[in-house]
Structure formats: structure tokens, C-alpha cells
Amino acid sequence: MIRCQSICSFTRRLHTHLPLCRRRSFHSSATLLKWASGVEPSNLTTPELTNRVCRLLVLERHTDLKNLSFQFSHELVDAVLQKLKLNPSACLHFFRLASNQPNYRPHFKAYCKIVHILSKARLFDETRSYLDELIDLSRNISSVSLVYDELVRIYGEFKFSPTVFDMILKIYAKKGLIQNALYVFDNMPKCGRLPSLRSCNSLLSGLVKNHDFQTVFCVYEQIVRMGIVPDVYTCSIMVNAYCKDGRVCKAVEFLEEMEKKIGLELNSVIYHSLINAFVEEGDLENAEGVLRLMSERGIVKNVVTYTLLIKGYCKQGKVEEAENVFRVMKTEEGDKMAVDEQAYGVLIDGFCQVGKLDDAIRIKEEMLSFGLKMNMFTCNSLINGYCKLGQVSEAHGIVRSMSDWKLRPDSYTYTTLMNGYWQAGQTQQALILCDTMIRDGVEPTVVTYSVLLKGLCQSGAIDDALRLWALMLKRGVTPDEVCYGALLHGLFNKGISEKALMLWKHVLAQGFAKSRILVNTMINGLCKMGKIIEAEQVFDRMKELGFSPDEVTYRTLSDGYAKTGDIEKVFEILYVMERERIAASTEMFNSIISGLFGAGKFSQVPDVLTEMQNRGLKANIITYGALIAGWFREGMLKKALDAYFEMRAKGIVPNTIICTTIISGLYRLGMRGEASKVLLKVMDLHSAPSLKYFSDQLMVNSDDGSQDLERITTSIDKSTKSSIIPNNYLYNVAIAGLCKYGRVDNAVEVINDMSVRGFIPDEFTYTSLIHGVSLSGDVDRAFQLRDEMLKKGLIPTIATYNALINGLCKSGNLDRATKLYSKLCLKGPAPNLISYNTLIDGYCKSGNTSEALKLKETMIEEGISPSAITYSTLIYGLQAQGDSEESEKLLDQMLEAGLDPRFSKYGRLVQAKVASRG
């Protein structure tokens, strides 16, 4: 309005209506525009109007041109640019005038003309600007060829310089429109123009950013064939590409070739790419070799060089060596370079990764004392370090301090802390933190959702996990393989195989067929549920789709076969692995041994140990743990003790798990006094005074035990005790021992005593208490304890429900036990071998062998193989009912299955029956 008042008086007589701002279409139609002018609109033809506009532009009579009343149209703009193509300043003024109109936008063909005209005049800044606009405007054009073909047509018509093609190639690459850049790159030679080296470098750099390494290598070969000589920057990009593609040796070969062919002098950027690649591979020897080469060639090391080396040592957990390098940088090179926050941050992160938070804080304080500032990387490293140690409150303290450092928590901050709360069992705090994150405007990432899913699944809240999954999809977050893996694992743990199989279809639809993590999770879940046939089907189908099994895949399958007692299949897998040159590990044999014990096929364990020895694999502490646990479970005390002493003879020091296995094994065999002696030897009574009363009571009537057991207690010396850290597992074994012999009140006293010292009762603790009160016949109290568990957010396991079913059966409440079993079948956790054996025993004792036999068939249908206990219980029950014919059939089935009845409840009776046949 102010501008209108300042114009000549005759303009006030014009009734010019300024249109409202509307979207300016790329292909907008011609619009009648009027400027303030004393000239009346004319009826000039397009050629006449073009001539008048051109004459005014050439004479630089810009005011007269502005006062001229005419229509802007694509036809007019094209005609003017065509006519004035040799007058770049006139074309530039006219194109700006056309571009600034509120309801008109030049056609892309006009842009193609103006960029050719300007580049011919070497007005490169203006050319780049309009090329940039052309690319933005032409994003909606279906094919890049439309723009490119028009540029080629104008080039052929005007006979100007082809510089435009090189410029648009570079701009496409810098904007990340790599496919468009590749199109131009491939077609430029057809115009008789080669791309410049700088444009080629831009294209190569863009391809590396996209991790399209195969195309990088192809484009480089084309560049060489075109006769374009690479420079240091080209070589730096190529080295980076080879390194990121995991082909470090190829990168070294490439550099050696460049040095020989073109006498290339390498710069620090190239050396840093090599050092970083070796560091990522964990090859510090070669990384240091590159450093020596830098020194030999006079390349000056800088803070980046040292930071990469510090990073290498930290990745291997060698934080002391990393700090030594850091000190060398500060003392020897301190005058030449300024140590920055990144160098400090890498060292702080290294200490956090290995749990040395005191050292991390020391380095942080040193950094701040030099006037350097905290950044997000350092804060997140400290938060992660504290969370790994379970010190979540300290981690939260760092988050609260971030505002003092003018930093805001990001998604990684919240996700790390959330994971810390899950690991510490503080489910509610994790969920509250998630709400805080969203309230603070930080959008949850796929990593955040994977942490939440994993936490919910681990806590057994599978329904909440499924709701979260639906919410994630609704918010448009695409699940990654970690999310799928967490949910699959959670569904299998709850025994919900149908939903797991449905989810698996989504996994395949999303293109994760070759994901080893997901395939292994799927096979593992099916094997754990005893669905070995379905696991085989998944394995075979995945191989058809191009999946390459690894040692974990085969180990999971062999574990599944071992649990079903199919040792022949186990050895088949070992031979397949040998043929595919996949080395079987000690861990795989450990899994097979555990599986055989679980299936009751312990007679085949010596064969597996022999095979393990033949392959040159050495038994480790986990191997011996599996053997000791297995032999104790089968009641073979001597074999269990032999395995322990063999382990000690090899210099392997028992850990907490081995000791608790021995203690619980002795309790299982009714050797209370001996178990107590071992327990008291490994536990500090000062930390648990209530155990003194416990031990006194149990030691009253105990005998001195065997010499072997005395040797065990003697072997637990000071050096052994230093490796045994009393934890929940050990305390739970002590509590279970008390409960097993009806001393539940004493067990509660121990729990109260230990709770003051940080012991948190878990599912195992409550299961032990429930087992104890159930054995004493107080089933109502057992269910009260189950309800208490649920209130504390603890999810009862199948062991908990087995204890309840056992208590109900022993108290004569078989109907109630059956109802509880039926609920498990509907809601989970899925009944296991112990569940079925307990109910079968209950039915047999009540004389209802028909229901017992039905349960046996049901367990087989569910993929659970009957054990020696199952058969011997049924045989005894049928014999008591006088049904010799059916008991003989079952005896035949048991012998065919290769089951040994010696250590089952009714083993002697069955053995006598076998002997009577002979």
C-alpha cells in the first residue's frame, strides 16, 4: 500500500486487482498480467510482441518493459530466450522477471534454455542456481530422461558448451539423487562430453554414503576406461568404499597400485580410512603398521590419528593401553595439536564399556578442567556404563545433569536408560520413562520399541508386548530384525506357537528370509517346544530361499534332536557341518550333552564326549557344569563327583553355578548334611546370619559323608571362594533346601535377612516356598504365595504351577489339579514333562489309569516324549490294577525308546519285570 502511494498519480486510476497467492504449478497456464502504464493493451501477435520485448531488453529499457502490458506465456518466454540466446544478460533479466510473477512459473524447457545460455557466458553461479531450481521443480517428472533429453536437444540446437551436463551431474550427486546422477553419467559420453573428475568424485562419494559399494566399483572402472585420471580425493573415496565393504586387503592393494601407476602421494585422510578399517576389524597390529608407514613417509599425525588408535584399543577392552596412547598424544604432541572432546569421549566410552566408571569419571573431570564441554556422545556413554553395572539411579543422575551442560536427552539417551530399568527389573520406571520421552517431544525410534518389546517379553507381559507392537505399526515405525526377534522369543517363551508362526509369515513378507538372527530364533523356539518337525520345515524352506546356516543354526537343531534323544540326527548334523566347513564348537557339544540328559538318554553322553575329544575340542567349565548337573539329576552321585574332580585336575576353578549345582544335587538325593557342608563352605555366614540357625538344624543328624564329598569341601579353598560370588541363585538354593524339608518358616527368615542386604525374591524363590508349603499339605497358603507373586509383577513359571499341581495331587485334590492343568493349556505357560508325570502319578494312585493313559497320549501329541518316570509310573499303576497286558505293552514301548528305568520312582519293580522276561 505504501508503495502504491508513492507511484505517479495516474496509477491511482487503474483498477488493478492483485490476485491472492495460490500454489504455483510447474505447468501453470499463461496469465494476463498488467503493470502500471500509460500504454493501452495492444493486440500484437506473438512474433511482434517477442520483437518488442527483445528490443527493450537489448536496449536495457527495463522500466519501459515493466510498463508494457502483455501476457506471460511459455511460448513467449521460449521465443525470447531463443532470439536472445547470444545476449546472456538480457536473457537473465527477462527470466528473473518471469520467475518473480505470482502466478506464473517458467516451463522446465525454459529452464533448460537459460542454463545453457548462462553456462556459455560462464555465469556459473547463476547457472548452478537455476539448475538447482530445475531439479527441484522436476522431481515430479516421471523420468529424469525428460529433463536430460531436453538439455541434449537445446545443446544440439544452440551448439553451446556441454558444461551444463557436468554441472547437473554434480548437483544431482550432492542432492543425493544418485539414480539421476548415474543416468547423466552414463549418457554424457553420447554427447561427446566426459564428466569432470570433480563430478565423478561427487558421484562416487554419494554412492558410498548410500552403501552401494558394487556400483561404486563399477563407476570407478568406467571412469578409468574413459581416461579420467583419479586424484587423491578419488583414491580416498575408493579406499573408504573398500574398507566399509569389509575388503580392507583390497583397499591396501588398490593404494599400492595407485602409487605405482600414477605416483600418487597419499594424504592423512586415506591413512585414517585404513586405520579405522583395521580398528573396526579388531586388527590393531595392522592399524599400528599404518601408523608406522605414516611416520616413514613424513605424514604428520593429528588428533584424528590418535583418536582412531585409542578407539582400537578400547574396542578390544585394552583401556590402559588406550590411556597410554592418550597420554602420549597430550605430552609428546601437546604443543602441536589440541586434544578435543572427541578424543576424551572415545576414552571415556572405552572405560564405560568395561565397567570402569571411576576411571571414566576421572577422565571426564580432567576434560572439564581444561575448559572442554560435555557432549551427547560422552553423556550417553556414561549412562550406558552405569546401566551395564545396574547403577540405574547414577545413570538417571547424568540425565538430570544434562540441562546444566545445555544438552537435551535424545532417543538414544532415553532408550539406554529404559533398557537399564528393564535389566534391573524396574518395569514401572521403564514405562514411566517412555511416557516422559514422548512428553518431551522425543520420538521413539525402532530401537526404543525393540527395547520395550524385549523388556515386556522378558517380564512375561506378552499381551502388553502385542499391544505395543500394534501401536508401533500404527505410528508408521517399520520393525527391524531385533523387534521381530524379541517378539518371536516372547511368544515362544509363553508357548504361543500359533501367533509365532503367524508373525513368522510377516517376517518373510518383510524380506528377512536370510536373517540368521530371526531364522535361529524361530528354529530355537520350535525346538524348545518340542516341535522338531516344524523346525526342520523352517530350516529347509529357508535354505531354499538362500539362507546360509551358521554354527548357531546347526547347534540349535542338534540341541532339539538331543532333547528328543535322536542322537543319530545329532551326528548327521555334525557331518553336514564338517562337509560345509563349519567348525563345531565346544558350546555346541555342551548343548548336545544338556539335551541328552534332558531327554533321559544319558547313556549316550560318553559317545558325545569321545566325539568331542576326537575333534580336538576341550571341555570347559560349562561342559563340566552340564555333566555334574546331568549326573546328579539321574541320581548318579559317583559320576557327578568324578566329573567335578576331573574338572579340578584340569585346573578349572568351580564357579557359583557349579557349587550351587552340587548343593542342589545333594539336596535332591536326600543328603542334607553333605549339602549343608558345601553350602556353608561357599557362603559367608556374616552376610547371612540366619543361615547359621539353618545350618545348625540341618547338621544335627547328618553323617560324615563319603570321602569324595569331604574332598569337595576341602577343595573349596580361598582361591576357589574368590571366584564364587554369592548371588540370588546361591541364596535360592539354600532357601529351596529349607523348603524341601518343610522348613518354610526358616526359609522366610532367610529371605527377610537377605532382603536387607539387597536380595530380591524372584520367581525361583516363590516357587521354592510354594513347593515347600504344598508338600506340607497347606495348598491354600501355596496359592496365596502365587497371588503375592502376581502382585509384585512376577510371572509364575511352569515350575511354579507344577509345584501347585503336585501339592493338589498329594492332598487328594486331583479334580482341582486337573482344572489348573486345563487352564495352563489355554493360557500358558505350556505344561511340560513334569506337569504330565505329576498328573499321571496322581491318576494312577487314585486308580484312574484310563485318564493317566489319555494324558500320555496328549503329551505325545504336544511333542513331549514320555520319560522313564512316565512309563514306570504307568506300569506300576496298571500292575496294581491287575492289567498285565497293557503294562507289558508299555514296557515294550519303554525298552524300544531306549529308556533306563533304574532311577525312576518305580524303577526296581520295572527292572524286576524286565528280568522276569529274560
Residue 894 and residue 868 in contact, taking contact as beta carbons nearer than 8 Å: yes
Question: Looking at residue 255, what DSSP letter applies?
Answer: H
Provide the grid cell at 868: 522313564
Residue 671 and residue 745 in contact, taking contact as beta carbons nearer than 8 Å: no
Residue 897 and residue 565 in contact, taking contact as beta carbons nearer than 8 Å: yes
pLDDT tens digits for range 329-383? 877 665 567 788 888 999 999 999 888 999 999 999 999 998 899 999 999 999 9
pLDDT of residue 377: 93
Q: Is residue 612 part of a domain?
A: no
pLDDT of residue 395: 92
Helices 814-827 and 833-845: crossing angle in degrees, nearest 10, is 160
Which residue's entry shows cell 505447468? 27
Q: Which amino acid is at 308?
A: L
pLDDT of residue 653: 83
Q: Is residue 896 part of a domain?
A: yes
> Buried b / exposed e across 808-835, counting CB within 10 Å, b at 16+?
bbbbebbebbbebbeebeeebbbbbbbb
Residue 530 and residue 501 in contact, taking contact as beta carbons nearer than 8 Å: no
Residue 185 and residue 195 in contact, taking contact as beta carbons nearer than 8 Å: yes
pLDDT of residue 5: 39
- Note the Cα 114 to chain centre separation in Å: 51
Question: Looking at residue 604, what DSSP letter applies?
Answer: G
Higher-confidence position of 623 and 759: 623
- Note the Cα 401 to chain centre separation in Å: 29
**Predicted confidence band at 20 (pLDDT cuts at 50, 70, 90)?**
very low
Rg (CA), the chain: 39
Q: How many CA atoms lie within 13 A of 352 on its CB side?
A: 25
How far is Cα 205 from Cα 188, in angstroms, rounded to an integer?
19
Question: Looking at residue 9, what DSSP letter applies?
Answer: G
pLDDT tens digits for range 669-679? 777 777 777 77
Q: Is the dihedral of CA 563, 567, 568, 570 positive or negative?
A: positive
Question: Looking at residue 724, what DSSP letter applies?
Answer: -
* Distant-in-sequence contacts of 39-44, Cβ < 8 A, 24+ apart: 39/67, 39/68, 39/69, 40/69, 41/69, 41/70, 42/69, 44/70
What percent of the chain is modeled with pLDDT above 90? 12
Residue 225 and residue 189 in contact, taking contact as beta carbons nearer than 8 Å: no
Residue 899 and residue 918 in contact, taking contact as beta carbons nearer than 8 Å: no
Residue 254 and residue 216 in contact, taking contact as beta carbons nearer than 8 Å: no
Which residue's entry shows cell 572405560? 351
Could you tell me the CA-to-CA distances from 361 to 313, 380, 457 in Å, in that order?
A: 19, 13, 34
Provide the grid cell at 863: 511333542
Q: Report cis status (omega within 30 of 0) of the bond before 866.
A: no
- Note the Cα 396 to chain centre separation in Å: 23
Q: Where are the alpha helices (DSSP H) in 410-550?
A: 411-423, 427-439, 446-458, 462-474, 481-493, 497-509, 516-528, 532-544
The boundaries of the domain holding residue 465 are 445-475+485-503
Q: Is residue 889 part of a domain?
A: yes
Question: Looking at residue 757, what DSSP letter applies?
Answer: T
How far is Cα 306 from Cα 302, in angstroms, rounded to an integer?
7
Residue 635 and residue 597 in contact, taking contact as beta carbons nearer than 8 Å: no
User: Does the pLDDT at position 724 exceed 90?
Assistant: no
Residue 89 and residue 59 in contact, taking contact as beta carbons nearer than 8 Å: no
pLDDT tens digits for range 407-430? 999 999 999 999 998 888 788 888
Nearest of 398, 401, 456, 399 to residue 430 by alpha carbon: 456
Q: What is the mean pLDDT of residues 580-596?
A: 85
Q: Is residue 313 part of a domain?
A: no
pLDDT of residue 9: 34
Provide the grid cell at 289: 603398521
Q: Which positions ≥6 away from 657 have C-beta within 8 Å?
A: 625, 729
Q: Is residue 844 part of a domain?
A: yes
Provide the grid cell at 351: 572405560
**Predicted confidence band at 689 (pLDDT cuts at 50, 70, 90)?**
low
Higher-confidence position of 324 and 57: 324
How far is Cα 310 from Cα 437, in angstroms, rounded to an integer?
33
How far is Cα 640 from Cα 898, in angstroms, rounded to an integer?
22
pLDDT of residue 692: 53
Find residue 33's DSSP bridge partners.
70
Q: Which amino acid is at 878?
A: L
Residue 549 and residue 523 in contact, taking contact as beta carbons nearer than 8 Å: no
How far is Cα 311 from Cα 282, in angstroms, rounded to an integer?
10
Write the secondary structure of 56-125 as one string of H (helix), E (strand) and C (coil): HHHCCCHHHHHHCCEEECHHHHHHHHHHCCCCHHHHHHHHHHHHCCCCCCCCHHHHHHHHHHHHHCCCHH
Residue 91 and residue 134 in contact, taking contact as beta carbons nearer than 8 Å: no
Q: Which amino acid is at 849?
A: T
Tell me how many domains the chain contains. 2
User: Does the pLDDT at position 4 exceed 60?
Assistant: no
Residue 741 and residue 676 in contact, taking contact as beta carbons nearer than 8 Å: no
Q: What is the mean pLDDT of residues 214-225?
A: 86
Exposed, middle or buried by CB within 10 Å (0-12, 13-18, 19+), for 209?
exposed
How far is Cα 549 from Cα 488, in angstroms, rounded to an integer?
19
Instruction: Give the range among 269-278, 650-659, 908-917 with minimum mean pLDDT.
Output: 908-917
Residue 364 and residue 378 in contact, taking contact as beta carbons nearer than 8 Å: yes
Exposed, middle or buried by CB within 10 Å (0-12, 13-18, 19+), for 756?
exposed
Q: What's the CA dihedral at 801, 805, 807, 811 to 10 degrees?
A: 160
Q: Is residue 918 part of a domain?
A: yes
Provide the grid cell at 848: 484312574
Higher-confidence position of 482 and 41: 482
User: Does the pLDDT at position 261 exceed 60?
Assistant: yes
How far is Cα 903 from Cα 163, in angstroms, rounded to an integer?
89
How far is Cα 603 from Cα 103, in angstroms, rounded to an integer?
89
3-class DSSP state of 154:
helix
The residue count for the chain: 918
How far is Cα 804 from Cα 632, in angstroms, rounded to an integer?
24
pLDDT of residue 30: 38
Could you tell me the CA-to-CA distances from 51 to 38, 85, 838 in Å, in that order?
A: 20, 14, 104
Q: Where are the alpha helices (DSSP H) in 651-699?
A: 656-668, 672-682, 690-699
Nearest of 318, 359, 326 to residue 344 by alpha carbon: 326
Higher-confidence position of 248 and 820: 820
3-class DSSP state of 652:
coil
User: Does the pLDDT at position 884 exceed 50?
Assistant: yes
Q: Is residue 108 part of a domain?
A: no
Q: Is residue 887 part of a domain?
A: yes
How far is Cα 352 from Cα 364, in angstroms, rounded to an integer?
11
**What's the CATH number where 860 sits?**
1.25.40
User: Does the pLDDT at position 37 exceed 70?
Assistant: no
**Predicted confidence band at 719 (pLDDT cuts at 50, 70, 90)?**
low
Residue 682 and residue 718 in contact, taking contact as beta carbons nearer than 8 Å: no
3-class DSSP state of 720:
helix
Residue 181 and residue 172 in contact, taking contact as beta carbons nearer than 8 Å: yes
Which residue's entry shows cell 526342520? 536
Mean pLDDT, the chain, integer? 79
pLDDT tens digits for range 89-148? 888 887 888 877 777 788 788 888 888 888 888 888 887 888 888 887 776 555 677 777
Q: Which positions ≥6 away from 11 have C-beta within 8 Å?
A: 4, 36
Q: Which positions ≥6 away from 793 have C-beta within 8 Å?
A: 427, 428, 459
